[in-house]
Amino acid sequence: SNPFARLEFPPFNGYDLNPLLQDPGLAFHPPLLYLGYVGLSISFSFALAGLVNGTINSAWASWVRPWTLLSWVFLTLGIALGSWWAYYELGWGGWWFWDPVENASFMPWLITTALLHSTLVLEKREQLAKWTVLLSILAFSLSLIGTFLVRSGIITSVHSFASDPTRGIYILAIMLLFTGGAFALYLLLGKKTRGSPVFSLWSRESALISNNFLLVISAMVVFIGTFWPLIIETIHGDKISVGPPYFNLTFTPFMIALSLLLPIGVSLAWKRGKISRALKSLIAPAILALVLAILILSLQTGMRMLGPVGLMLAAWIILGTLWEFAVKVGFGKHPLGKSLRWLKLLPRTEYGKSMAHLGFGFAIIGIASITSWEIEDIRVVQIGDTYQVGSYEFQLLDVKEIRGPNYFAQMGEFEVFQDNSLEATMFPEKRVYPVANSTTTEAAIDMGLLRDLYIVLGDFQGENAWAVRTYIKPMVNWIWIGAFVMALGGCISLSARFPAFRSRELRKVS
C-alpha cells in the first residue's frame, strides 16, 4: 500500500485498482473525510493553546467554532458519500452496516456535533469552558483512532482495501503522543479554566448540555461496540463479532431522546427559560406529528413501531423547526409584508441552524422508512419469467455478454411494470475483472424520492436461469438528501463568519 514503492521491472499494463474502488465517488469520499479529520486538528490546537494561555472564553469560542463547523461539514459529506457509494456499488443493498471503518468516521462526527453546540454556549454565555476543551481533544483523538483503524488492519472490515500493520504502529505512536499529552495538559491546566454554570434547569443551556450528553454517550456506545471484539481477542484469544443488533438496540434510544429534545431546546430562552412557554409554542407541531404517526400505524400492515415512531419524530423535528422559524418573524401575528422583511433580517446563522435541523429530520424519514418497510425478494428466475415484488411486476427479458474497458460482464435486462404501465427498464451486471481476478456485482437502481427499485444479478443456475435479488427501498434517498441539507446548513452558518457577509448583515440590522 506504499505509493512510493518502486518496481524493479515496471509492467507495460499495470495491475488494476481494486474493482470496487474504480468509481468516481471514491475520488471524493476519502479526501472529504480526511479534510474533516485534519480540520479537527485546528480545534485541537486552539484547545491546547487556550489551556496554556488560560484564554478559554467567548472570544476563543468564536475563533474555534468556524473551524469546527468546517470540519463537521466535510465529515458529514464524507460519511454520506461513503454510505451512498456502499449502497450502489457493493451490491448488498445496504446503506449502513456498523462496520468498524464506518464507525471510525461516525464517532468523530458525533463528538464534533456535540462540540459545535458546546462552543455555542461558550460563545453566547461563557459557560462550559472545560467541557468544550475536552470535546475538542476528544474529537481530534477519535479522528486519529479512525485513521489507525483504517490503516492498521487490526479489525476486520469490508471497507479495508489497503492495510499495513507497520504503518499502524507509527499512527498508534502519534496517537498516544498527541492524545496522551493533550489529556495530561488538560488535567494539569484545566483547573485554571474559569466558568461555572449559572442558569436554570429549563433554559437553552440545559438543553444543549443534554444534547451533548446524548451525543457523547452515543459515541461511547459506538466506541465500545467497535473495539469490544479486539478487547475480547486480546484478553481471551476468542474471536467474536459485534453486529447491527447491538448498535441498533443501544444507539437508537439516545437518538430518539435527542430527536424529542431538539425542537424544545431551540424554543427555550437563554439562562432562564420557561418550559411551559416552549411546550405551548410547540402544541401544533406535536399534534400534527402524533396524528401522522397514528395514521401511518393504521395504514401499515403488521405492527412495526419503528416506522411510525420514526416518521413522527421526523415530523416533530421538521414542523417544530419551521414553526420556531415562523414565530421568530411573526407569521400570523403581523402583516405578511412585515414578516417577510423580518425574515430577510434574520442572521445567516439562524438559516444555517434551521437547515441543519431540517436535514436531520429528512434523514430520519429515510432511515425509519427503509428499516421498517423495505421489501426483499431472492429467487431463481428464467429468461422470460415474470415475478411480483410488492406492487411491481419484474420480467427478465435477456442476459447478454458485454465487454467493458477492463472487464467482461453478463448484463441482465429487466422490465418493471406497475398497474400494467412500464415503470423502468433496468440493467444489472455481474462483472469479471481478469487482471485482478475478481468478480463484482453492479446493481441496477431506479431511483426516486418515494422509493428505489434495486436489482442484483447473481450466479447462473443452468437452463437459462439466474439467481436474482430484488429490493424495494422506500424513501431511502431521503437519508442522503438529509445529509446534504445538513451540510448546506453548515455552509450557510459558516458564510456568516466571512467578513463580507458579516458586514452586509450589520448594515441590514442598522
Please indicate, yes or no, if residue 494 is contained in any of the structural domains: yes
Q: Flag whether 423 is in a domain.
A: yes
Buried/exposed 415-449: b ≥16 CB within 10 Å, e otherwise = ebbeeeeebbebebbbbebeebeeebbbbbbbeee
Q: What pLDDT, on the 0 to 100 scale, is given for residue 14?
A: 66
**Share of residues in the chain with pLDDT > 70 (%):** 91
pLDDT band at 510 (very low <50, low <70, confident <90, very high): very low
Residue 393 lies in a domain: yes
Model confidence pLDDT, tens digit, residues 45-88: 999 999 999 889 999 999 999 999 999 999 999 999 999 999 99
Containing domain of residue 455, as a range? 347-510
- Distances from the Cα of 123 to the Cα of 66, 92, 269, 349, angstroms: 12, 45, 15, 13
Q: What is the DSSP string of 160-219?
A: -S---HHHHHHHHHHHHHHHHHHHHHHHHHGGG--------SSSHHHHHHHHHHHHHHHH
In a domain? residue 97: no
Of 90-94, 292-296, 327-331, 483-487, where does mean pLDDT reach its minimum? 327-331
- Max mean pLDDT range (39-43, 87-91, 125-129, 270-274): 39-43
Domain count, the chain: 1
pLDDT mean over 418-442:
93
How confident is residue 120, by pLDDT bands cut at 50, 70 and 90? very high
* Domain membership flag for residue 364: yes
Q: Are 174 and 143 in contact (CB under 8 A)?
A: no
What pLDDT does 26 receive? 82
Residue 414 near residue 396, CB atoms below 8 Å = yes
pLDDT over 90 percentage in the chain: 59
In a domain, 162, yes or no: no
Tell me if 473 sits within 8 A of 452, measured CB to CB. Answer: yes
Assigned domain for 113 exists: no
Residue 424, C-alpha cell as written in the block: 423502468
Q: What are phi and psi of 276, to 5 degrees?
A: -65, -40
pLDDT band, residue 508 (cuts 50/70/90): very low
409: in domain: yes
The answer on pLDDT for 168 being more than 80 is no
Q: Is the dihedral of CA 220, 222, 225, 230 positive or negative?
A: negative
Cell numbers placing 245 = 443488533
pLDDT 10s digits, 256-265? 999 999 999 9
pLDDT confidence tier of residue 277, bands split at 50, 70 and 90? confident
pLDDT tens, residue by residue, 293-344:
999 988 887 767 889 999 999 999 999 999 988 888 777 676 777 777 878 8
